[in-house]
Structure formats: structure tokens, C-alpha cells
């Protein structure tokens, strides 16, 4: 946690040096990272639930399986 706090302080020190456009881009990127993290967590939770219910992962269609693979990294 100490390392994280130090990193946050370094970021705070850099913020006044950025233009408004750069700050908006930074905000958008942070929102994107949060979105990806939530999506990955939801996928992992679904897999955990499936794995706890049976020994195999089953999909109804190939498209469903491919969507799960594609969304795993997003």
C-alpha cells in the first residue's frame, strides 16, 4: 500500500503540468482501465461459478464460446 500511495503522490505532482486536453485524455484512459477491470472480474466470476457447478465449461454455441474468449482480455 505504501508503494501505491507514493505512486499516487507522484501522479498528483504531475497533474498541474498537464493541459486540460491531456487531463481529459487521462480521465478517459482511467475510465477505460476501470471498465476493463470490471469486465474481467465479471468474466472471472462467471467462470468461477461455472467451475464450481461442474467439471466442464459448456457453451450453447460456438459464437458464445468465441465471445467469452474475446471478452476475457477486454
Q: How many residues does the chain have?
A: 74
Predicted local confidence at residue 70, as pLDDT: 85
Average pLDDT over residues 38-64: 84
Residues 6 or more apart whose Cβ sits within 8 Å of residue 18: 26
Residue 73 has pLDDT above 70, yes or no: no
Predicted local confidence at residue 12, as pLDDT: 94
* Per-residue pLDDT tens digits for 2-44: 789 999 999 999 999 999 999 999 999 999 999 999 999 999 9
Residue 59 has pLDDT above 90, yes or no: no
30 vs 7: CA distance, rounded Å: 15
pTM recorded for the entire structure: 0.59
Angle at 7 between CA 1 and CA 10, to 5 degrees: 145
Amino acid at each position: 500500500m505504501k508503494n501505491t500511495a507514493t505512486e499516487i503522490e507522484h501522479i498528483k505532482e504531475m497533474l498541474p503540468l498537464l493541459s486540460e486536453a491531456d487531463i481529459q485524455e487521462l480521465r478517459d484512459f482511467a475510465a477505460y482501465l476501470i471498465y476493463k477491470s470490471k469486465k474481467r472480474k465479471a468474466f472471472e466470476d462467471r467462470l468461477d461459478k461455472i467451475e464450481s457447478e461442474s467439471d466442464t465449461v459448456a457453451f450453447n454455441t460456438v459464437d458464445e464460446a468465441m465471445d467469452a474468449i474475446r471478452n476475457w482480455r477486454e
